Amino acid sequence: MNMGKVYLVGAGPGDPKLITIRGLEALQKADVVVYDRLASPQLLRHLKPGARKIFVGKLPDKHMLKQEEINRLLVDLALEGHVVTRLKGGDPCVFGRVGEEAELLAAHDIPFDIVPGITSAIAVPAYAGIPVTHRDFTSSFTIVTGHEYNNKTYSDIDYEKLASATGTIIFLMGVANIENIRDQLLRCGKPSSLPVALIRWGTWMEQETLVGTLATIVEQVREANFQSPAVIIAGEVVKLREKLAWFERKPLFGRRILVTRARSQASDLVAQIDELGGEAVEFPLIHLRQPEEPAKLERLDAALRRLPEYDWAVFTSANGVEYFFRRLAQLGLDVRGLYRARVAAVGPKTAEALRERGLIAETLPAKYQAEDLAEALEPLVQPGQRVLLPRASIAREVLPEQLRRLGVEVTTADVYETALSDEYGAEVLAMLRARAIHTITFTSSSTVTNLLEVLGTLGETDVPRLLDGVEIACIGPVTAQTAADSGLHITHMAPEATVDSLLRTLVAGRTEAPR
């Protein structure tokens, strides 16, 4: 068997987007990933199909595996011929014990790469609005381990030199040792008024910041029951937080939001949640695909081959536009066959999708629902006219029925269908049970029913109880009604069936994130 290779990768401080490009590439190559608790679980979604995941995380009072066992595990996996990515929080070379892992790999002549990551020592204070240097305060900083090991081989921290040699002092892994750190700094001449901040779970949605001075910080930590993992930063730069605390001031900060729409539709919503300071967890419950049954395709193709006969083409979603043009291309048909037809669209996203393909939609109803579209079309269509309605196979019959009442001949063309997807289901269920999801967005009735079905197949017997306390945000009244009928309490309902309206509603109704 060929020798494998090991990538020793820094995952960054927690925000999954703070991993480096090279680190992400190493994840995508991996046959096996060995990871700890400070690496974002969302990074594991970048693994190739079939890649093995091994958790070796450490809690303050418990190790899944001892460091020596982790070292040996990496060697054994590489000797078996695997490409292994060792994913470590922060930077692997800053108290990450990467040297020990690399030494054993080198001893066995196993090739390895060390991929640096963004260390929490710098990134976490930055996310709390505290740059570690500033020309008005200090031009130097020191990173120190705040956790003392009785059996360590390196010398004790020289606090006297530390206190006099640098402006900003950053302690990692030091919450349990905060009283000793305070005492040592005071003993070595640091003033009791020196600003101190502790940032817990920095760059995550759980980020909390505690600000005090050397005189007050120990009591503050006790009163707040402030726990690890946290970065401690002592220095005048802490004063800048009052002006620069950018991350915690974003409107959706602290909200981890489950996005349940299909992956092909989710990018805009995910990007805007991120821009507003929230964390989007994608759970694509719906997989979109072209109809697969021969009889359905025959009906679709027959409808599309009659393009010159239609007086109207009415599109009810951007997906309908995408799959309509996809099937036209497969059939070798020209959209110019619609030369006689006027075009209508439900909502601006659908209209935009049409514009990108050279078609201008005439009708944009105010609320973007099928009922509104039928009402808007009523004074425009004439009895006897022919309407093509490209849509999803599960679309409601409201629009074609109302149009037929007007004496219009309607041809429905099921250009795509939805299939249930349970990818990441176990991960999402675990997050819901741990109360790590704060908000769930539903963008269609099928996302509601599919979520309940997926959670049920995973063994959750009382989904409404599981979601009690989780904000439920629906894109419009039809989706909201489906959620309510399923026993869910609706927290937010967008007045318009658009992503922008949904986000505005979330921001307007934002409450403090659970802690």
- 404 φ/ψ angles, rounded to the nearest 5 degrees: -65, -30
Give catalytic status of residue 58 as yes or no: yes
Q: Name the strand (E) or helix (H) holding 444.
A: none
For 18-61, the DSSP string reads GS-HHHHHHHHH-SEEEE-TTS-GGGGGGSPTT-EEEE--EETT
Active-site choice (58, 239, 250, 296): 58
DSSP 470: S
Q: Which of 15, 36, 91, 414 is catalytic?
A: 36
Beta strands in 40-174 (DSSP E): 52-55, 58-59, 62-63, 83-88, 112-115, 141-145, 168-172
Q: Checking DSSP bridges between strand 286-289 and strand 409-420, what pairing results, if any? A: antiparallel
| Catalytic-residue membership of 173 | yes
> 47-58: string of b/e by CB count within 10 Å (b at 16+)?
beeebeebebee
Strands 208-213 and 409-420: unpaired
Torsion of CA 258, 262, 263, 267, to 10 degrees: -70
Q: How far is CA 127 from the centre of its chain?
A: 17
The single residue of 173, 349, 414, 493 carrying the catalytic annotation is 173
The CA distances from residue 314 to 248, 331, 354, 455, 505, in Å, are 44, 20, 11, 35, 28
CA distance 173 to 229: 7
Which residues does the annotation mark as catalytic? Answer: 36, 58, 173
